[in-house]
């Protein structure tokens, strides 16, 4: 249960005094539904309303706070036009400009001959200073109220800054005094403020420097958030490890049979990863390991070997893929090899219904299906394994081990291996998995040709199409990827259809189109035609990113490459260069590119090393964007920035580990404070892993 101390922060924003239902909705949109969200909604700017220099020296386009004498009123000449109030600060004149204002109201606000302190954005029009709708107009004796530094916040349409600011102030008034969860030595060493002080100061910046991620208050708050993330992951992991595992240690016979049937031998990296996996499986604790490797680095084979290890012991193995296409592809790769070794393998996806499904589920339950490949349908109710020993989850580029833990429930002590094709930077890996064991396939299978990547401006589309025509004449297979249109699948599809129809005018029936709106069998038919038959130019949305394997494809054109995340471009490009023929990738961009856009495409052009690309992407764009889409499943942070605060992650990880070693149930004084921290950041699920919670 959430500690009572935190209740005031976990009320709805509408409970703040002065916030009515209409603004509550808008505040919810801008910051979040709960009062605590307002604490995390840090200022993005400051308005300095301290007295500014005389009008002639006051900078253009900035907020100025001036002491003015009102000279005269100039109502609009006709019915339209602004109402002007001409004032002077003794150095120059300035026009206060009002649209749709009532004259009598303005005469009361700004009586001729009197002095008023006025604050607002100063602009110059034909050399004359003016200020439209000043935000503050007060008599001199009230000037102290406005001559301050005010924070500004990311807001939303219809929500006045003043209202949002007042809501934040209301939230700040509810801050409780909490015991310190930070390790005393770290706190002393870093000289960070206490939590409550940090929150208050973060909302009262003195100047722009206080908004930087390395301002002490911001670091402290970022650290708190990261610590809660690392602590939660450490708790999940500790629980996993506490559950008894089983020792899976096959005799190697099936693995040997498959190795003999392969036309190649395993790479050094594959061997090393396998050794690590086999050691985990042999141990009597449960395996929780991530296998990270670029597209085409040979993860599937490693997965197969791990599964055969379980089968050698008489147990079963499962491989779960994120999409239907990918599940079928894994099946197609694995099935002939498994057959060589005499192992029965099944596939189960959402497409299987009725009798077919019942028959497959039956074979899984009685244990005659030794290896089962599938989508999440595999882990739905009604699917019971006789004896599942290892589960392999191919996440491609979706993450979130904790959600998938439920999968462990399918067996007594299922070892779990998560595979990902996205070379996630170390820091981001840590946000998603904490202290996970990781194997990396850094080496590509031999015989791969490097991909020749070029960047081309979109206005040279005609030449690109000519180039594609030449490649097609030489017998190449070509992918043409259409961009994301504002994250809308419908528009993506429209863009792809349209491109396909223009290309069809030139290439006729050799053009196929593939997108997320097609039904399963339709997709299969298009893919099959591309792989084996009449389609040579495949226009597609990013659906091809996950799981298309046509080694004969040697050309890829990506439209509006600047709109994609680097990780995504890397994934896409990984679809070519799979065979032994030279491949070409054309990244089409619309000019002008931003500087960052330029740098990003240059990275793509200059390297194929996915780990390098990922690190560069994180550096260039920051964590929020790195994975191309928000739905990546990586945890998002309110105050921590995995790029700017990268160095805090290992510190927090070690801190969390140390704390849990000393106080595994978080029962001591610091442990209790840490529980509060978990609740504060809404990691309630993790707290449930503790005794007495």
Interface residues with Mg ion (CB under 5 A) are 300
Structure tokens at 617: 């992407």
Q: At what angle do helices 324-340 and 299-312 cross, to 10 degrees?
A: 50
Task: Tell the smallest beta-carbon distance from residue 264 to ligand ADP (Å).
Answer: 4
Q: Does 245 sit near ligand ADP (CB under 6 A)?
A: no
Query: Which residue stretch of 142-150, 225-233, 260-268, 472-480 sits at the interface with ligand ADP (rule: CB under 6 A)?
Result: 260-268
Candidates 231, 233, 295, 603: give the one binding ligand ADP (CB under 6 A).
295
Structure tokens at 272: 């090393």
Looking from the CA of 234 toward its CB, the CA atoms found within 13 Å total 24
Sign of the Cα pseudo-torsion (602, 607, 325, 513, in order): positive
Task: Tell the smallest beta-carbon distance from residue 399 to ligand ADP (Å).
Answer: 17
Task: Tell the smallest beta-carbon distance from residue 294 to Mg ion (Å).
Answer: 10
Partnered with residue 452 across adjacent β-strands are 584
The item of Mg ion, ligand ADP, none sharing an interface with residue 266, based on CB under 5 to 8 Å by kind, is ligand ADP
Query: Which residue stretch of 22-30, 39-47, 265-273, 487-495 sits at the interface with ligand ADP (rule: CB under 6 A)?
Result: 265-273
Query: Which residue stretch of 22-30, 41-49, 298-306, 501-509 sits at the interface with ligand ADP (rule: CB under 6 A)?
Result: 298-306
Q: Does 130 sit near ligand ADP (CB under 6 A)?
A: no
Task: Encode 164-206 in three state secondary structure.
Answer: HHHHHHHHHHCCCCCCCCCCHHHHHHHCCCCHHHHHHHHCCCC
Candidates 65, 228, 297, 416: give the one binding ligand ADP (CB under 6 A).
297
Q: Does 267 sit near ligand ADP (CB under 6 A)?
A: yes
Do 287 and 408 form a contact (C-beta atoms < 8 A)? no
73 phi, psi to nearest 5 deg: -105, 140
Q: Does 270 sit near ligand ADP (CB under 6 A)?
A: yes
Nearer to Mg ion, 527 or 686 (CB): 527
Q: Does 264 sit near ligand ADP (CB under 6 A)?
A: yes
Q: Does 427 sit near ligand ADP (CB under 6 A)?
A: no
State the Cα–Cα distance between residues 71 and 110, nearest whole angstrom. Answer: 10
DSSP 247: -
Sign of the Cα pseudo-torsion (590, 595, 599, 602, in order): positive
Question: How many residues sit in the footprint of ligand ADP (CB under 6 A)?
Answer: 14
State the Cα–Cα distance between residues 395 and 389, nearest whole angstrom. Answer: 19
Task: Tell the smallest beta-carbon distance from residue 250 to Mg ion (Å).
Answer: 23
Nearer to ligand ADP, 295 or 576 (CB): 295
The residue written with tokens 């050691």 in the block is 279
Nearest to 479 by CA among 426, 540, 529: 540
Q: Does 442 sit near ligand ADP (CB under 6 A)?
A: no
DSSP 581: S
Task: Tell the smallest beta-carbon distance from residue 334 to Mg ion (Å).
Answer: 10
Residues 6+ apart with CB under 8 A from 426: none
Task: Tell the smallest beta-carbon distance from residue 578 to ligand ADP (Å).
Answer: 6
Candidates 71, 146, 149, 266: give the one binding ligand ADP (CB under 6 A).
266
Nearer to ligand ADP, 193 or 296 (CB): 296
Burial of 671 (0-12, 13-18, 19+ CB in 10 A): middle
Task: Tell the smallest beta-carbon distance from residue 298 to Mg ion (Å).
Answer: 8
Candidates 193, 205, 293, 642: give the one binding ligand ADP (CB under 6 A).
293
Candidates 237, 299, 370, 600: give the one binding ligand ADP (CB under 6 A).
299
Burial of 61 (0-12, 13-18, 19+ CB in 10 A): exposed
Q: By the criterion CB under 6 A, which residues form the site for ligand ADP?
A: 264, 266-267, 270, 293, 295-301, 421, 445
């Amino acid at each position: 249960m959430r500690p009572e101390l935190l209740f005031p922060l976990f009320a709805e924003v509408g409970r703040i005094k002065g916030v009515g239902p209409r603004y509550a909705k808008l505040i919810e949109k801008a910051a979040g539904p709960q009062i605590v969200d307002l604490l995390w909604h840090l200022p993005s700017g400051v308005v300095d309303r301290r007295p500014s220099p005389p009008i002639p020296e006051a900078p253009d386009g900035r907020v100025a706070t001036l002491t003015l004498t009102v000279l005269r009123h100039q109502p609009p000449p006709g019915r339209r036009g602004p109402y002007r109030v001409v004032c002077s600060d003794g150095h120059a004149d300035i026009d206060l400009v009002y649209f749709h204002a009532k004259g009598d109201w303005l005469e009361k606000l700004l009586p001729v001959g009197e002095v008023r302190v006025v604050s607002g954005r100063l602009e110059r029009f034909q050399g004359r200073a003016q200020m439209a709708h000043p935000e503050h107009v007060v008599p001199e004796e009230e000037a102290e109220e406005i001559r301050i530094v005010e924070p500004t916040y990311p807001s939303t349409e219809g929500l006045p800054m003043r209202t949002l600011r007042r809501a934040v102030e209301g939230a700040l008034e509810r801050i409780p005094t909490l015991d310190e969860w930070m390790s005393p030595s770290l706190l002393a060493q870093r000289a960070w403020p206490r939590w409550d002080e940090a929150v208050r100061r973060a909302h009262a910046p003195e100047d722009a420097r206080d908004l930087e991620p390395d301002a002490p208050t911001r670091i402290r708050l970022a650290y708190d958030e990261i610590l809660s993330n690392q602590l939660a992951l450490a708790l999940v992991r500790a629980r996993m490890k506490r559950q008894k595992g089983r020792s899976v240690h096959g005799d190697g016979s099936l693995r040997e049979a498959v190795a003999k049937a392969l036309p190649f031998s395993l790479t050094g990296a594959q061997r090393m990863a396998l050794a690590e996996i086999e050691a985990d499986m042999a141990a009597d604790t449960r395996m929780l390991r991530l296998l990270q490797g670029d597209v085409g680095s040979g993860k599937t084979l490693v997965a197969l070997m791990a599964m055969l290890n379980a089968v050698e012991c008489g147990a079963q193995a499962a491989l779960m893929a994120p999409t239907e296409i990918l599940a079928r592809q894994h099946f197609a790769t694995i099935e002939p090899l498994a057959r060589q070794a005499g192992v029965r393998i099944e596939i189960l996806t959402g497409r299987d219904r009725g009798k077919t499904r019942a028959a497959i589920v039956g074979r899984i339950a009685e244990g005659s299906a030794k290896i089962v490949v599938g989508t999440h349908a595999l882990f739905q109710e009604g699917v019971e394994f006789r004896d599942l020993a290892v589960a392999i989850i191919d996440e491609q580029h979706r993450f979130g081990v904790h959600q998938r833990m439920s999968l462990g429930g399918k067996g007594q002590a299922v070892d779990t291996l998560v595979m990902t094709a996205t070379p996630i930077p170390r820091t981001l890996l840590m946000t998603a998995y904490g202290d996970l064991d990781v194997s990396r396939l850094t080496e590509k299978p031999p015989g791969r040709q490097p991909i020749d990547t070029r960047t081309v401006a979109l206005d040279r589309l005609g030449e690109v199409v000519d180039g594609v025509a030449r490649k097609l004449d030489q017998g190449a297979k070509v992918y043409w990827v259409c961009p994301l249109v504002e994250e809308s699948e419908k528009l993506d599809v429209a863009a792809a259809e349209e491109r396909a129809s223009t290309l069809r005018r030139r290439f006729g029936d050799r053009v196929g189109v593939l997108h997320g709106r097609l039904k399963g069998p339709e997709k299969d038919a298009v893919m099959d035609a591309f792989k084996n038959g009449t389609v040579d130019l495949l226009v597609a949305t990013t659906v091809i990113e996950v799981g298309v394997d046509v080694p004969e494809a040697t050309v890829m054109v990506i439209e509006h490459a600047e709109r994609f995340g680097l990780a995504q471009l890397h994934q896409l490009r990984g679809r070519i260069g799979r065979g032994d023929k030279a491949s070409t990738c054309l990244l089409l961009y619309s000019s002008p590119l931003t500087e960052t856009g330029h740098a990003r495409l240059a990275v793509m052009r200059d390297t194929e090393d996915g780990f390098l690309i990922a690190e560069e992407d994180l550096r260039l764009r920051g964590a929020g964007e790195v994975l191309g889409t928000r739905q990546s499943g990586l945890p998002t942070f309110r105050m921590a920035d995995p790029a700017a605060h990268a160095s805090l992650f290992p510190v927090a990880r070690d801190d969390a580990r140390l704390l849990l070693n000393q106080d595994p149930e978080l029962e001591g004084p610091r442990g209790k404070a840490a529980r509060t921290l978990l609740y504060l950041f809404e990691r309630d699920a993790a707290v449930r892993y503790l005794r007495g919670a």
